[in-house]
Amino acid sequence: MDKNNIIGFVLIAAVLIGFGIWSQPSAEQIAAQQKQDSIENVARAKAENAAKLAAQQKTAQAKAAVEADTTALFYAALQGNATDVVLKNKSVELTVNTKGGVVSKAVIKNFEDRNGNKDVTLFDSKTQSLNFALAAKEANINTADLYFTPSNQTMRSLVAKMKLIPNKAMINGKRVLFCDDSIVRGTQLRDNVKGLFDAGLKEFHMRIACPPLVYGCPFINFTSAKSDMELITRRIIEKFEGDANKDLDKYATTDSPQYTKMVDEIRRELGLTTLKFNTIEQLIKAIGLPKCQVCTHCFDGSSKYTLEEQADE
C-alpha cells in the first residue's frame, strides 16, 4: 500500500466521522423524541389495557349469563359445594375434590424419603391445577368451575356419608322431621336413616317436596338415573306386579290404592317412621301455571309431546 492509498483511507474515515458527528441529533431533539416515544408507549399501553379489560368484561358477562340461565346445559353443574373424597389403600391415598373433579392431593404411604419422612406427599392443591376449557357459543365452559358427582354408587354413598355426621347428643331419643327434594334410588337415604337410628334417634319422619319419581327423565336427566330400574318406585312396582312397567298410570295417580301401597313400601324399605310426598296437584298449584305448561314427565309420564297435545285441546 503506497502513500496515496493511506491518505485516501484517512480522508474517507475523516469524512465518515465528520458526517456522523454533524448528523447526530442535538440534546433537545433527543429529549423531544424520547418524550414522543413515551407518549406513544403510554397511549399504546392504555389501548391494550382497555381492549383487555373490555374482553374480560365481555367474558365475565357471558359467564354470568350462563351461570344465571337455569335452562343452560351446565347450569346444575355450576352450582354446588366443594367436597373432598378420599380414596386410599395400604400404598397410596388420593384426595379428589368434587369441584373440578381433580386429584387435589396424592400421598405415597409407608414410603421413606432421603430425609426419613414417611407418607410422602407428591403434590397438593397448592402445587397443582387442572382445567379443560370447552368452547361454547357465549362463554367457554371451564371444568375447574364445575361440580362433579361420583357416578359409582359406592362413591356416591361415601360422599353422602361425609355430608351427614349425626350429633348423638342432639338427636338421642328425639323425634325428627326431615325434608328433602326427592327420592331417586333411596340408597343414601336408607343408609342415613340407619345411621341416625343407630345414633339414638326415636322417630324419623320424612317429607318430600316433589311427587314420587315413577319415570326417568329423557330430556335433561333430572333424575340422573341411567335406567328407570334405578328408581326405587320402579323396583317396588316390579316387586308387586312382576313387571316394572305395569299399571304405571295407577301408581302415579295420587291416593290411588297402588300409589298408597307404593309409598308405604318405600317407607318400609327405607326404615322411616312416616313418609309423605308432595302431590302433583299441590306442586302444580304452587307453581301457579297450567299443567299443560309444566313438564311432569318424571311424575306421571307426561312428556312435552303429550303436553303440546293437551294444550291444543
Q: Give pLDDT, residue 181.
A: 92
Three cell numbers, residue 310: 293437551
Q: How confident is the model at residue 124 (pLDDT cuts 50, 70, 90)?
A: confident
Question: What is the C-alpha to C-alpha distance for residues 37 and 45, in angstroms, rounded to an integer?
Answer: 12
Nearest alpha carbon to residue 223 among 297, 161, 292, 141: 297
* C-alpha grid cell, residue 267: 317407607
For residue 140, which phi and psi values (nearest 5 degrees)? Answer: -65, 145
Would you state the pLDDT for residue 34? 78
- Please write down the HEC assignment for all residues of 116-167: CCCCEEEECCCCCCCCCEECCCCCCEEHHHCECCCCCHHHHHHHHHHHCCCC
pLDDT reported for residue 55: 80
pLDDT tens-place string over residues 10-43: 778 777 777 676 777 777 777 777 778 788 888 8
Query: Tens of pLDDT along 94-111?
Result: 888 888 888 889 888 877
The predicted-structure confidence for 248-269, as pLDDT tens digits, reads as follows: 999 999 999 999 999 999 999 9
Give the burial class of 2: count Cβ atoms within 10 A of its Cβ; 0-12 exposed, 13-18 middle, 19 or more buried.
Answer: exposed
What order of strands is seen across the sheet that includes strand 175-180? 175-180, 203-208, 274-277
Q: Look over the chain and give the mean of its residue pLDDT values, rounded to a whole number.
A: 81
Quote the pTM value: 0.50
Residue 131 · residue 123 · CB < 8 Å: no
Q: How far apart are CA 66 and CA 145, in angstroms?
A: 12
CA distances from 35 to 25, 26, 95, 224 (A): 14, 14, 57, 65
CA distance 189 to 266: 11
Would residue 168 be called left, alpha or beta, if left means φ above 0 and alpha means ψ between -120 and 50 degrees? alpha
Q: Has residue 208 got a pLDDT over 70?
A: yes
- For residues 251 and 234, what is the distance between their CA atoms, to the nearest angstrom? 10
Residue 126 pLDDT class (50, 70, 90 cuts): confident
36-71 per-position pLDDT tens digit: 878 888 888 888 888 888 887 877 776 666 555 544
